[in-house]
A = this chain, B = another copy of it.
Amino acid sequence: MESTTGAPTPTTYGVGARVSLHPMSDRYIEIILGALADAEPARDRLDARTGVVSTFVGGAEDDLLRYLSTLIGAAALRADGEHLAASVLLSRGCPGEVTCDLRSGPWASDASLATDATGVEAVAEWSLYPLLDADPSDGVAADHMIPIMAAIDQAKRAGLYDGSDHYVTRLRGDVADILTLVMTAWRGVGGAVQHVTSHLSFSINSPTQEQS
């Protein structure tokens, strides 16, 4: 067990992601294993563990961003025009596998996040969840929708906003730009709320890219 006293680290604070790749192709095993191998050098500073449904990676936000962008970009290149879906779940402030009794937050860096463009265009559905606890002794009113609305405004300013559907915001652009926006918003909310998660579903090379 790592100590959770003193200043948090990405590991003690539970900063990480789960990612899964879904190539809609008979070559899916080759595409997934190839992309994981391609992205291996970008994983050097992350904890990683592949599960049955998805792969966990834990570590600092800039390392997570570089890894996720490299991995999804590599899978898209290997899919070579075939349809690919990818799912990303981001979480912070709830370390461990069951409970999150850590009470050292909120804690978040405000350094800017950036990574190289992948050259891969995607459409993505995005949701952001600030998981507030209500403590009347704080005397502070908090509305979980305020940071969500601010994040949607960030998307519009970044030119990635493609529309709002039920329960999700639709983004469109380079995979790296979408990940940078979403991870910046997720970490930004983390400065005010300890436990924050975000889900992102990418669709790449879809035969139905037109607006519905």
Contact = CB atoms under 8 A, between A and B. Distances in A.
A201 B52 CA distance: 11
A170 B203 contact: no
Contacts of A29: 207
Given A124-B53, A134-B141, A136-B140, A98 B164 contact: yes
Contact of A166 (B14, B99, B152, B168): B14
Interface string A117-156: 0000001110101111111111111111100010010000
B136 A20 contact: no
Interface stretch (A36-44, A83-91, A105-113, A179-187): A83-91
A134 B125 contact: no
Contacts of A123: 52-53
Given A138-B134, A140-B136, A168 B89 contact: yes
Interface string A152-165: 10000000000011
Copies in the complex: 2
Interface of A: 14, 16, 18, 20, 22-26, 28-29, 49-54, 56, 58, 83, 85, 87, 89, 91, 94, 96-101, 123-125, 127, 129-145, 149, 152, 164-168, 170, 195, 197, 199, 201-203, 206-212
Given A54-B168, A101-B145, A132-B134, 13 more contacts: A16-B167, A22-B22, A50-B212, A51-B125, A51-B165, A52-B212, A85-B85, A94-B167, A129-B129, A131-B132, A133-B142, A134-B138, A136-B138
